[in-house]
Amino acid sequence: MESSGSSGKPAEPSSRWSDLLGTVIALLTLTIPLLIIGYYSYSPGVSDIAPELSSSRIE
């Protein structure tokens, strides 16, 4: 009995390219949001202003 799949043949080139493209898209989807969050969350000016605002509310 022969199976209908092509287990002996290598994968088609288009299948390899689509696998590679899918992997690249997945990695970009995971890394780009983290980079953007890291870029915009770093604000050195905010840490200087925050203690002044909190001390004026306490007094």
Query: Mind listing the pLDDT tens digit for each residue in 21-41?
Result: 999 999 999 999 999 999 988
- At which residue do the structure tokens 């992997």 appear? 23
Query: What is the C-alpha to C-alpha distance for residues 52 and 6, in angstroms, rounded to an integer?
Result: 70
Query: What is the C-alpha to C-alpha distance for residues 55 and 57, in angstroms, rounded to an integer?
Result: 5
- Is the pLDDT at 1 greater than 80, yes or no? no
**β strands within 7-59, DSSP E:** none
Name the pTM for this structure.
0.48
What pLDDT, on the 0 to 100 scale, is given for residue 14?
84
Over its C-alpha atoms, the chain yields an Rg (Å, rounded) of 26
